[in-house]
C-alpha cells in the first residue's frame, strides 16, 4: 500500500523509524514533512492537511500522522472531507479503527508512545481490514454529518 507520512518537529524521529518499519512490511512510503526536528516554529495543521489532501487526491491510500500527542495533527486532517483520522495509543483501538470505523489515517503522539509500541500500533492498523455491513451504515452516518455541514466551494 502507498502510505503518506506527516509530522511536526515532535514527530520527525518516530516518523523516520515507522517509515523504515512499514517499508520492511512491504509498503511504499511518501514523506510530506516536516523533515527537521529542530524547526520548532513549524505548525502541525500544515502536515495534517498535506497528508489528508494527498489521500483525497488519491496520491496515497492511507496516512500516518505524528505530533507531540497525535491530537492536533489529527484534528486538522479530520477537517478534510473523507478523512477519518484516529489517535491511537495501543494496537486494539488501531485495529478497530479500521475494522469498524474505516479509518484512513492513524495518528500517534511521539511524546505518548515509545517506538516499539508505535510499531505494534501501526502494524495493527495496516494489517486490519474494514468489516463493512453494519459498520458501513454507521460510517455513512458520519459522512452524512460531514456533508450536512460542508461548504462546497463553487468553481
- Residues taking part in catalysis: 67, 100
| Footprint on this chain of ligand RB5 (rule: CB under 6 A) | 8, 10, 44, 67-69, 71-72
Q: What is the 3-state secondary structure (H, E, C) of 4-47?
A: EEEECHHHHHHHHHHHHHHHHCCCEEEECCCCCCCCCCCCHHHH
Q: Where are the beta strands (DSSP E) in 57-133?
A: 62-67, 85-87, 105-109
User: What DSSP character marks residue 82?
Assistant: T
Closer residue to ligand RB5 (CB): 71 or 139:
71
Closest approach of ligand RB5 to the CB of residue 118, in Å: 15
Closest approach of ligand RB5 to the CB of residue 145, in Å: 23
Closer residue to ligand RB5 (CB): 37 or 68:
68
Can you say how many angstroms the Cα of residue 24 is from the centroid of all Cα atoms in its chain?
19
Closest approach of ligand RB5 to the CB of residue 101, in Å: 21
CA distances from 3 to 45, 60, 67, 86, 105 (A): 18, 5, 17, 15, 9
Closer residue to ligand RB5 (CB): 4 or 6:
6
Closest approach of ligand RB5 to the CB of residue 44, in Å: 5
Q: Yes or no: say if 47 and 10 are a contact pair by the CB < 8 Å rule.
A: no
Closer residue to ligand RB5 (CB): 96 or 110:
110
User: What DSSP character marks residue 110?
Assistant: T
Amino acid at each position: 500500500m502507498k502510505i503518506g507520512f506527516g509530522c511536526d518537529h515532535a514527530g520527525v524521529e518516530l516518523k523516520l523509524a515507522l517509515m523504515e518499519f512499514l517499508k520492511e512490511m512491504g509498503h511504499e512510503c511518501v514523506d510530506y514533512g516536516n523533515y527537521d526536528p529542530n524547526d520548532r516554529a513549524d505548525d502541525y495543521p500544515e502536515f495534517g492537511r498535506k497528508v489528508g489532501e494527498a489521500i483525497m487526491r488519491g496520491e496515497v491510500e492511507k496516512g500516518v500522522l505524528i505530533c507531540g500527542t497525535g491530537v492536533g495533527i489529527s484534528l486538522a486532517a479530520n477537517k478534510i472531507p473523507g478523512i477519518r483520522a484516529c489517535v491511537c495509543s495501543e494496537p486494539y483501538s488501531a485495529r478497530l479503527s479500521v475494522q469498524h470505523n474505516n479509518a484512513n489515517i492513524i495518528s500517534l503522539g511521539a511524546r505518548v508512545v515509545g517506538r516499539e509500541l508505535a510499531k505494534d500500533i501501526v502494524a495493527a492498523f495496516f494489517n486490519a481490514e474494514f468489516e463493512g455491513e453494519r459498520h458501513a451504515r454507521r460510517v455513512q452516518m458520519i459522512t452524512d454529518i460531514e456533508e450536512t455541514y460542508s461548504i462546497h466551494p463553487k468553481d
